[in-house]
Structure formats: C-alpha cells, structure tokens
Amino acid sequence: MRFSYLEPEFLVERNLERCIRCQVCVRQCAFEAHRYDAASDVVTVDSSRCVGCLRCVTMCPTDALIVRQNPTTFKENANWTGRVIKNIYKQAETGGVLLTGMGNDRPYPIYWDHMVLNASQVTNPSIDPLREPMELKTYLGRKPERLDVSVKDGKISLNTKLAPQLELRMPVVFSALSYGAISFNASKALASAAYEFGTYYNTGEGGLHRDLYRYGERTIVQCASGRFGVHKDYLQAAAAIEIKIGQGAKPGIGGHLPGEKVSREVSRTRMIPEGSDALSPAPHHDIYSIEDLRQLIYALKEATRYEKPVSVKIAAVHNSAAIASGMVRAGADIIALDGIRGGTGAAPTTIRDNVGIPIELAIASVDQRLREEGIRHQASILAAGGFRSSSDVIKAIALGADAVYIGTSALVAMGCHLCQICYTGKCNWGIATQDPYLEKRLNPEIAKERLMNLLRAWEHEIKEMLGGMGINAIESLRGNRLHLRGVGLTDSELEILGILPAGR
Amino acid sequence: MKRVYAKEEVCAGCRLCEIWCVVAHSKTKDIIKAFNEEFPRPLPRVQVEEFGSFSFALQCRHCNEPPCIEACMTGAMHREAPDGPVLHDADKCVGCWMCIMVCPYGAIARDETLKKIASKCDLCYGEEEPACVAHCPNEALVFEDRGE
C-alpha cells in the first residue's frame, strides 16, 4: 500500500506501570491495533488502526489504556478544517465514495434542546405517578371516523369495526435494524426485549430469521425496495408490515449491505447468494406515484386479510407534509418519519450529513397538515431519527407524534460506542457484525435485559414528566403543543413547530 | 455439587477468567502486583480452549469419581467433603504427574516455577463464587448446581 498522508484519528496510550501484558486488548481488537511482542514481553500499539470503539479500554482489567482524539492539528482554517482535509486525503488515496455508519454527526440544531416542557404550579395540581395511575398505553393504526355504540338491556356494544391496531405498553418502538446489518444476537435481543416488554421491533429489510418467528406478534416486518426476505410466511408472521420508501440517514438511496456481511444465515434469510452485496434499488421500481403506493399497500393488506396495519416509512424531506397526506390517502395506517439524524449501518457520508430535514420540523409540519386536512385520525405518526432520551420522546409526542422509533439508543444500550464503522462488519462489540468470532461478544440475554431496563427507565421518566404537567394519560399530551415552549428559536422555527416562545 | 459451566456460544475468548484466576491465587490478590511484582506467579487454573471462532473456558470438572485422586500416591489430591471440590495439597505433591496422565479433561497443569507440582482449579475454595465466574464480562461462565 502506498504511503498515506492521514494521521491517526486517535492516540492509544498505554500506562506501562499498570499494563500486566495479559493481552485482552490484543484479543479483543478486530482491527489489530494492539500487538504482543513475545520477545520483549510488551504489548505495542499501532494507533493508526484504532477506530475509537473503546472495546480495549472497557475490557482492560487494570485501566491501563486511554484512547484520545489525536491532538495534532492542521493550521487553523475556518473553511479548510481538519475534517475536510482528511476527507480529501481519503478520497485522493482511494477514489471512492466516503462511507460511514450511524447517524448524522454534524452540528445541525437539535430542536429538542430548544424546547422546554410545562409543569403544573398552584392553579392546577400535578400528579404523582407513584401514587396515582398513569396511562402510557398507545395504539398505532387507523382510528375510526366516529364510534357507533348501541345500548341494549344496559349492555353497551360497539358496532364500529375497528381497524387493526398495534398495542404498545409505552410509545417507544425499536426501529428498523436489519439482520445482516446487525448480528443475530443483536436481532434476538431486540426481538425478545420487545416481546417481553410489550412493544415492537422492526426487522428492517433483512428478512426474518427462522429462529425469530416466535416473536412474530411483536414484529414489524419491512418490505423495502430490494424485497429481501419477503415471502408469504414472513408477512403472515408479523404484527404489522412497513413499506420502506426512505431512511433518514440516506434519503433518496437504497440500503447497501456489503457482501462481507452476507453470511450463510444472512443469505438464507434474505434469499440472496452468500457473499453477494445486497443492494436495494433507490426507488421501489413499482412505486412511482401515490397511486402506485396505494397498490402495494392494498396488495399487502389483501395478502394478510386486512388483519395487520400497514406502515409507510419515508425519510423526512422538504415536502414531507404533502407526501404524508398522499400516503394517508393511499391507505397507510402508520406514517413513519425518519429525520436527518437517523442512523444506518452503511451510508455515503455526504448523503448522511447533508440530505433530509430534522425530525422535529417534520413531525410538526406533517401533524399540522394532516389535521388541517381532517385526516390526522386515519394514520398514526411514528417518528424516528436520533431520539436520545425520555424527554426527546415526550416532546415528540407533544409536537404531534403518536410514538417514537429508537435505533441508536437501543444499540447504545446494548454496548454500541458510536465509532461509526458498522459498514466494515468488524464491530468489536458484536453488534454490527456477522463474524462468528465477534458476534459471540454480544450475549443476547444481557442485551435483552439492558434494553428492557432502558425502556423501564424511560417509562418512569415519562410518567414523572406527564404527572408534572398534570396529565395522567399520554393520549392527552399528543399534539398538545401548549405544553411546549421554544428557547432560542427564530420566529419561523417557532411557527413551523407551532409553539410559543418561552415567557409567552 | 455446584460446578462451573461454560456457555461457549457467548464466550468472547478474552481470557479474563484466566487473568482473574491468577489474581485469586496470588499472595497479594492485587492484579497489578500479582502480574508485575510477585514471584512465583501462580498459573491460571482455568484455560480457554480455542478453535477458530469456537472457544470456552475449561477447568477441573470436580468429577464424582475423580481418577486423579485414585492415581495420587501421596494423597495430595483429595476431597474434604464427598460433595466438595477436588483439592490439591502442594506440600504433599511430589510432582509425579500421574494426575495429569489420568485426567480425562486435561484440566491439570504442570507448575514448575518452584518445586514441580500439579496446578488445578479449587473452585476458589471458601469464596462464594469462583473468580473466573465473577469476572466473566459476558456471563459465559456460570456457577450452579445442576444435580450432576
């Protein structure tokens, strides 16, 4: 290989007084940054191989390792930053598209951090969720125009036929993470955690592994442009079906699973040859219009006897509101919106970092548009793209979402350190890999417990915040933007979000 | 009796079990001193066996009818209670290594750092949980009574 102009991104520092040469770091680094020199009985480091996943630091039994950002800087330049220069070096060396994993890491405004919640004081009582009932149960799916109820001999019966609904213990769902992009153990952890907790997980476009069919009633299966793994049993096993049009991390392009990650099991599940790149087309070639979308929605509904809600997922883009309106009219029961900070296993960096709009603005504009058109009840809004905490979730509900998809938060709960190299298939945490040696590092039992703990923690926090606002059911907060105020936002941002500035 | 069982499907092959076994059998019980200062350093009594991506930690199975006790001519290899761990008395051991010859698991090692003796797992006798189990980062080792 030719000499590279790239400096190491990280420096790995070893405290030799603490190092016991046990070589755990050597064995745990799939990038071979650590090596043991038996002749001198020392462990050496090649910092240029370090990706900053911190596996070695976490596993080192004597805390002998520190990984730091390389402090070396280029000459200060506001336009030609180190990041820009390094990207040019990389491309000059490889001639390729820059790839990355995880969500957008550029400093776009995070509107969640510019919105504050209300709380009851004096004139209305707040509620203590530890002493009084608090309802977080959420139903996703088409709601009826009106309820036709008849009373006979004092018995009330419902005459309206309800559309199929997904019942969530709280408004958080694990978002689409395909088997292939993530390991079987990671998929199993998500599936079993959703199943035990009482929410749902999404297969992404990776198909459904035969060992995961038993979690079917808590599974949302995806039908994406590549149609990988889509067949009769797959559709029938699920609780809901999602047509994936777009993804927040890469609006306008299809998924890409590198051949290195297409193991025998992935190939069986996706129904593609082993080792071949799984390239999803950018569009669905049978969907070039809302009318075409309607055909696929109804084909799927027909195939599953109208027993399952059908979701349509799009990346949040400039005209999401108009598109969402069309999607609802085409028969979508759930509108999934994925914002610019949405994650991925592999995407061109330039697309991830520059295409799409923040999810906060998309939720507000879509909710507003559907309400204005009087069709908001016909579909639930499932928002995705960088939800980091219970407060992000509750703010999204107040803005108008019905529930929230979490992907990155779930991965972090399982151990992800956001080093953004998922596309290499060498995830040292056993999450984004198909390497049998690395995959074992994720114990699905531990991961399941961690996921459930995260959901429980958020559930408690959401109840506390709701109680503080004097609300005892999440339904009463949905789209209730009076409980939000903006801090440090422009007039047009406030107008799009449909909220007042703090102090007013 | 309670034994250590390996879950090979989640063994990460990190060998932290071996490292903490050494610490547990060191004089100071301090990981840095045990490795960097103590002599002799005890041998790990648990060994991670690896073949490709397959790995698991192996230590003495504390057999119900241990061939090593049968074969030991000095009584170094012994049991204090019928359902207790198979223990090894270094003072009595003469380093004949018959135990190593008869162990069906290859779970006894030769310790030649001072006088020649056998080295094997004692289930961290007296501790609530063996060190290898307590420190396995992926819960790939469990300490339980399976009625075997």
Tell me whether residues B53 and A441 touch, CB distance under 8 A: no
- Given CB atoms, is A409 within the 8 Å cutoff of chain B? no
Structure-token pair, residue A326: 């069309």
Q: Which among A407, A314, A412 has a CA at the least distance from the CA of A366?
A: A314
Would you say residue B4 has pLDDT above 80? yes
The string of DSSP codes covering A18-55 is T-----HHHHH-TT--EEEETTTTEEEE-GGG--S--H
User: If you average pLDDT over residues B77-106, what whole number do you get?
Assistant: 94
A306: phi > 0 → left, psi -120 to 50 → alpha, else beta; which? left
| pLDDT on residue A126 | 95
pTM of the model: 0.96
Question: Do both A191 and A63 map to the same domain?
Answer: no
SS3 A428: coil
Whether residue A412 lies inside any domain: the answer is yes
**What's the confidence (pLDDT) of residue A217?**
97
Tokens of B101: 């010859």
Q: What is the CATH number of the domain that holds A46?
A: 3.30.70.20
Do A262 and A377 reside in the same domain of the chain?
yes
| A240 token code pair | 């809901």
Q: Which of A96, A111, A131 is the last residue of a domain?
A: A96
Query: Would the CB atoms of B32 and A62 count as touching at under 8 Å?
Result: yes
Q: Is residue A500 part of a domain?
A: no
Note the pLDDT tens digit of each residue in B108-120. 999 998 888 999 9
Please judge whether B19 and A61 are an interchain contact, meaning their C-beta atoms are less than 8 angstroms apart: yes
The phi, psi pair for A236, rounded to 5°, reads: -75, -25
Residue ending a domain, choose from A96, A119, A151: A96
- Measure in Å the smallest separation between the Cα of A59 and chain B Cα atoms: 8
Helix (H, G, I), strand (E, B) or coil at B36: helix
- Where does the pLDDT of residue B148 fall: very low under 50, low under 70, confident under 90, or very high at 90 and above? confident
In angstroms and rounded to an integer, the radius of gyration of the C-alpha atoms of chain B is 15
Q: How far is CA A145 from CA A151, A165, A276, A401, in A?
A: 20, 15, 48, 19
**Minimal Cα distance from B136: which residue of A?**
A59
Q: Locate the chain B residue with the closest alpha carbon to A24.
A: B14
Alpha-carbon span A144 to A375, nearest angstrom: 11
Q: How close does chain B come to A157, measured CA to CA in Å?
A: 52
Reported ipTM: 0.94
Task: Classify strands B2-6 and B141-145 as parallel, antiparallel or unpaired.
Answer: antiparallel
Domain end (from A96, A116, A149): A96
- The number of C-beta contacts closer than 8 angstroms across A and B is 62
φ, ψ dihedrals at A235, nearest 5°: -70, -40
**For B34, which residue in chain A has the nearest alpha carbon?**
A20
H helices of A304-389, in order, are 320-329, 349-354, 359-372
Q: Count helices and strands (H / E) in chain A.
A: 15, 23
Residue A277 placed within a domain? yes
Closest CA to A190 of A382, A450, A426: A450
A80 reaches B (C-beta below 8 A): no
Dihedral sign, CA of A10, A15, A18, A24? positive
**Are B14 and A435 inside 8 Å of each other by CB?**
no
- The pLDDT score that the predictor gives to residue A1 is 74
Across the interface, of B53, B135, B137, the residue whose CB is closest to A437 is B53
Q: Does A62 touch chain B (CB under 8 A)?
A: yes
Determine the pLDDT at residue A412: 98
Residue A274 contacts residue A313 (beta carbons within 8 Å) = no
Spatial distance between the Cα atoms of A344 and A347, rounded to a whole number of angstroms: 7
Is a pLDDT exceeding 80 seen at residue B91? yes
> Does residue A105 lie within any of the structural domains?
no
Domains held by chain A: number: 2
Q: Does A264 touch chain B (CB under 8 A)?
A: no
Best to test chain A binding among B35, B43, B142 (most A CBs inside 10 Å):
B35
* Nearest chain B CA: its distance from A440 CA (Å): 5
Distance from CA of B70 to the nearest CA of A (A): 35
Decide if A381 is inside a domain: yes
- Paired tokens of B132: 């290898």
Task: Closest CB to A24: pick one of B16, B53, B55.
Answer: B16
| Closest to A70 (Cα-Cα) out of A53, A55, A85, A48 | A48
Q: What residues of chain A, 447 to 466, have a C-beta less than 8 Å from chain B?
A: none
pLDDT at res. A270: 96
User: Are residue A92 and residue A173 in the same domain, yes or no?
Assistant: no
In a domain, A483, yes or no: no
Identify whether residues A246 and A349 lie together within a single domain: yes
Could you tell me which of B131, B101, B110 has the C-alpha nearest to residue B25?
B131
Q: What's the pLDDT score for residue B126? A: 83
- Residue A110 inside a domain? The answer is no
Residue range(s) defining the domain that contains residue A71: 10-96
Q: Report the 10 Å Cβ neighbour count for A313.
A: 27
Q: Are residues A333 and A252 in the same domain?
A: yes
Residue A252 belongs to a domain: yes
The residue written with tokens 């071996």 in the block is B18
- How many angstroms separate the CA atoms of A476 and A124, rounded? 15
Closest by CA position to A173, among listed A200, A203, A191, A196: A200
Q: Indicate the fold that domain B64-120 takes in CATH.
A: Alpha-Beta Plaits (3.30.70)
Q: Which amino acid is at A249?
A: A
Residue in B8, B11, B14 to test binding to A, most A beta-carbons within 10 Å? B14
Q: Do B31 and A62 touch (CB under 8 A)?
A: yes
Question: Pairing state of beta strands A256-257 and A278-279?
Answer: antiparallel
Task: Indicate the helix (H) or strand (E) that contains A458.
Answer: helix A444-468
Give me the average pLDDT of each 10-residue run along chain A (504 residues): 92 97 97 97 97 98 98 96 96 96 96 97 94 97 95 93 97 97 98 98 96 98 96 97 97 91 95 94 96 98 97 97 98 98 95 97 98 98 97 98 98 98 96 96 98 98 97 96 98 98 96
For residues A341 and A103, is the Cβ–Cβ distance under 8 A?
yes
Tell me the pLDDT of chain A averaged across its residues: 97
Residues A168 and A275 in one domain: yes
Residue of B nearest to A430 (CA): B12
Q: Where are the domains of chain B?
A: 1-59+123-148, 64-120
Same domain, A293 and A416: yes
Domain containing A178 — which CATH number? 3.20.20.70
A235 interface with B at CB cutoff 8 Å: no
CB contact under 8 A, A22 and B19: yes
Q: Which residues contact A399 (CB under 8 A, 6 or more apart)?
A: A360, A363, A364, A367, A479, A481, A484, A497, A498, A499
Verify that A201 and A337 share a domain, yes or no. Answer: yes
Query: Chain B: nearest CA to A65, how far in angstroms?
Result: 14
Contact assessment for residue A190 and residue A409, using Cβ atoms and an 8 Å cutoff = no
Burial class (CB in 10 A: 0-12, 13-18, 19+), A207: buried
- Dihedrals phi, psi of A58, to nearest 5 degrees: -70, -35
pLDDT at A143: 97
